[in-house]
Amino acid sequence: MNKDLVAIFEYLEREKGIKRDIIIGAIEEALRVAARKSIKGLINVSVRIDSKTGNIEVFAQKEVVDEVTIPEEEITLEEARELNPHCEIGDWIDIEATPEDFGRIAAQTARQVIAQKLRSAERDVIYEEYRHRINELISGTVKRIVRGATLIVDLGKVEAILPDRFYPKIERYNIGERVLALLYEVRETENGGAEVVLSRSHPEFVRQLFLQEVPELEDETVVIEKIAREAGYRTKLAVVSNDSRVDPVGACVGVRGTRVKNIIRELNNEKIDILPYSEDKVQFLENALAPIEIKKISVSEDESTISIVVEDEDYPTVLGKRGMNARLCGTLIGIELDVQRMSEYQTAMNIQRAQLAMMDDPSLDESLVIEGMSPFVVESLVSAGFDTPRKVLNASVQDLAQLFESKEMADKVLEEVRQKRL
Decide: 243 and 204 in contact? Cβ < 8 Å. Answer: no
Q: Read off the pLDDT band of 310 (50, 70, 90).
A: very high
Amino acid type, 371: E
Q: Which residues, other chains included, contact 38 with Cβ-Cβ below 8 Å and sequence gap of 6+?
A: 99, 101, 102, 105
Q: Read off the pLDDT band of 100 (50, 70, 90).
A: low
User: pLDDT higher for 30 or 235?
Assistant: 235
Q: How far is CA 124 from the centre of its chain?
A: 23
Does residue 276 have a cis peptide bond before it, meaning omega lies within 30 degrees of 0? no
Average pLDDT, the chain: 84
Q: Which residues, other chains included, contact 109 with Cβ-Cβ below 8 Å and sequence gap of 6+?
A: 27, 30, 31, 34
pLDDT, mean of residues 288-315: 89
Q: What pLDDT shows up at residue 102? A: 64
Radius of gyration of the chain measured on its C-alpha atoms: 40
Cα separation, 16 vs 48, whole angstroms: 24
Residue 12 is given by DSSP the state: I
- Is a pLDDT exceeding 80 seen at residue 148? no
Q: pLDDT for 169-201, tens place per residue?
A: 889 999 999 999 999 998 877 766 678 899 999
Torsion of CA 347, 351, 354, 360, to 10 degrees: -160
User: For a pLDDT cut of 70, what percent of the chain falls above it?
Assistant: 91
Does residue 163 have a cis peptide bond before it, meaning omega lies within 30 degrees of 0? no
Q: What pLDDT shows up at residue 421? A: 67
Range with lowest mean pLDDT among 38-42, 116-120, 154-158: 38-42
Q: What pLDDT shows up at residue 226? A: 94
Q: What pLDDT shows up at residue 76? A: 87
User: pLDDT higher for 421 or 252?
Assistant: 252
Q: What pLDDT shows up at residue 95? A: 79
User: pLDDT higher for 25 or 263?
Assistant: 263
Helix and strand totals (H; E) in the chain: 16, 15
pLDDT, mean of residues 330-338: 91
Beta strands in 100-231 (DSSP E): 137-146, 150-154, 159-162, 178-188, 194-199, 222-230
Residue 389's nearest CA partner among 352, 416, 412 is 416
- Is a pLDDT exceeding 60 seen at residue 1? no
pTM of the predicted protein model: 0.67
Range with lowest mean pLDDT among 222-231, 236-245, 296-305, 306-315: 296-305
Decide: 264 and 272 in contact? Cβ < 8 Å. Answer: yes
Q: Read off the pLDDT band of 325 (50, 70, 90).
A: very high
The topology (CATH level 3) of 2-126 is N Utilization Substance Protein A; Chain:P; domain 4 (3.30.1480)
Range with lowest mean pLDDT among 28-37, 336-345, 374-383, 403-412: 28-37
The topology (CATH level 3) of 134-201 is OB fold (Dihydrolipoamide Acetyltransferase, E2P) (2.40.50)
Which CATH number among 3.30.70.3270, 3.30.700.30, 3.30.300.20, 3.40.50.300 corresponds to the domain 219-342?
A: 3.30.300.20
Q: Which helix (H) or strand (E) holds 130?
A: helix 102-130
Range with lowest mean pLDDT among 63-67, 100-104, 262-266, 374-378: 100-104
Which CATH number among 1.10.3470, 1.10.8, 2.60.40, 1.10.150 corresponds to the domain 359-421?
A: 1.10.150
Range with lowest mean pLDDT among 2-11, 159-168, 294-303, 399-408: 2-11
Residue ranges of the chain that CATH labels 2.40.50.140: 134-201
Residue ranges of the chain that CATH labels 3.30.1480.10: 2-126
Torsion of CA 378, 384, 386, 392, to 10 degrees: -80
Q: Is 192 left (phi over 0), alpha (psi -120 to 50) or beta?
A: left
pLDDT, mean of residues 34-59: 74
Residue ranges of the chain that CATH labels 3.30.300.20: 219-342
